[in-house]
Amino acid sequence: MSASRYVGIPFRLHGTDRHGLDCWGLVRLYLLEQRGLELPSFGDRYGRELTLDERRHIAAIVAGESQEWTKIEPGKEHRGDVVLFRMAGAESHLGVVIEQGRFLHARAATDSCVESYRSPLWARRVAGFWRR
C-alpha cells in the first residue's frame, strides 16, 4: 500500500490518529494498518512532554533491546522497517522505510511527509534500522 495515505497528517505532540500524529504515533499507525503489529501507545503519559528517559525507552523498544526487534544492516532495509535517528544527542526520532533511501515520518511544525534518509540532513543522524 502506498505511503501517500499517511502523507499530510498534521503533527500533534502525542498524537495517535489521523487527526494528528507525532513520530511514534505515525510508526504505530503505519505498522498496525500495514502489518497488523500493535505497539505500545504510551497514552497514559500523553498530555505532557515525554522525558528524555521516556524517549529513550521508545528508542530502546525499536533498537532491539526487546527480543521482538531485529537490527538490520544498512543497505538491507526494506519497506516497513523502522529507522531510528539521533536528535539532540539522543536516539529519539523514528520513521518508517517506504523504499530504499526514503522514509515516512512526522516532525514538529510539519505535516507527516516522505524524505530521504540519505540526504545531508538525515544521513548523519541515522542510528540504525530495525524490523519486527
Residues 60-98: pLDDT tens digits?
A: 666 655 567 888 999 999 999 999 998 888 788 899 999
C-alpha grid cell for residue 76? 538491507
- Which contiguous run of DSSP H or E holds residue 24? helix 23-35
Q: What is the mean pLDDT of the chain?
A: 85
Rounded Cα gap, residues 80 and 103, in angstroms: 9
Q: Which domains does the chain have, with CATH numbers?
A: 3-131 (3.90.1720.10)
Pull the grid cell for residue 28: 504505530
Distance (Å, rounded) from C-alpha 121 to C-alpha 88? 13
Q: Is 109 helix (H, G, I), strand (E, B) or coil?
A: coil
Query: Rounded to two decimals, what is the model's pTM?
Result: 0.83
Q: Is the pLDDT of residue 7 over 90?
A: yes
